[in-house]
Amino acid sequence: MSTNQFLPLVEKIKTEGKCLEGGILKVDSFINHQIDPMMLQLMCEEFARRFSNVHVDKILTIEASGIAPAVVLGYLLKKPVVFAKKKKPSTMADMLTTEVYSFTKQKSYTVCCSKEFIKEGEDILFIDDFLANGNAAKGMIELVEKAGAKIVGMGFLVEKAFQNGGQMLEKLGHRVESLAVIESLDNCTITFKE
Ligand code: 5GP
């Protein structure tokens, strides 16, 4: 787990982030609802820097909030971006599927991706907005394994360290890069990891 905080994002969270009940950080003003493209560019340049020594064929994310950072990073790295879908399209025949438990929605859902877009032998960089318990990430690892491809790195805009997803992913041997790491949201106070 990296505690290498990306200061422009830390400052933005300090000024615009809001704590909700149940350990949820709301960043609707620049990530999850309204999007700040300039901030997005800065964050993705940082991802590009941190993953510069990793070979990447494709970027994978999960809809919806991972798409914006994944596309900006894909643009910077000049690599295609695939987003796993939360609903099975009737037009998709040959699919990889997995179950993901959603922490914010407190229910499981099926995530799918066409076999056409994640192929055997490809090096995949997974990007998402938040890392909490790591359920979404675990589902994506399973999807990539089913395709016979390989996860070469996992990048998150915000990691909530008190939920242990980062530890779990690192135990599985994955390289995790989180731009802002939050130690605690107790008493509705945002505390960043030192
Ligand atoms: P995990 O699967 O790691 O438990 O949770 C990650 C997913 O849940 C992310 O893709 C994100 O959409 C959502 N999520 C988890 N925690 C938060 C949070 O504190 N704030 C927001 N906005 N989304 C969260």
104-121 residue pLDDT tens: 788 999 999 999 999 999
CA of 138 to the centre of ligand 1 (A): 13
Tokens of 70: 């994944």
139 lines ligand 1 (CB under 6 A): no
Going by CA atoms, what residue is nearest to atom 24 of ligand 1?
A: 130
Is residue 89 predicted with pLDDT exceeding 70? Answer: yes
The pLDDT of residue 94 is: 87
Q: For the residues 68-94, what does the mean pLDDT come to?
A: 92
Number of helical H runs and strand E runs in the chain: 5, 10
Mean pLDDT of 17-41: 97
User: What's the whole-number mean pLDDT along residues 62-89?
Assistant: 95
Position 25 pLDDT exceeds 50? yes
**Distance separating alpha carbons of residues 119 and 102, to the nearest angstrom:** 26
pLDDT at 80 over 80: yes
pLDDT at 91: 79
Query: Environment class of residue 32 by beta-carbon count within 10 Å: exposed (0-12), middle (13-18) or buried (19+)?
Result: middle
Among 34-48, 85-99, 142-156, the minimum mean pLDDT is found in 85-99
Residues of the chain above pLDDT 70, percent: 99
pLDDT averaged over every residue in the chain: 95
What pLDDT, on the 0 to 100 scale, is given for residue 3?
77
pLDDT of residue 182: 98
pLDDT value at 92 more than 90? no
On the question of pLDDT at 2 being above 60, the answer is no
Query: Does ligand 1 come within 6 angstroms of the Cβ of 167?
Result: no
Work out the pLDDT band at 75, boundaries 50, 70, 90.
very high
| 1 has pLDDT over 60 | no
CB 10 less than 6 A from any atom of ligand 1: no
Q: In the predicted model, is pLDDT for residue 165 greater than 70?
A: yes
**Is the CB of 130 inside a 6 Å radius of any atom of ligand 1?**
yes
Task: Look at residue 104 in the predicted model and tell me its pLDDT.
Answer: 78
Q: Cβ contacts of residue 141 below 8 Å, gap of 6+?
A: 126, 151, 172, 174
How far is ligand 1, taken at its centre, from the CA of residue 92, in Å? 27
Sign of CA dihedral 107, 113, 119, 125: negative
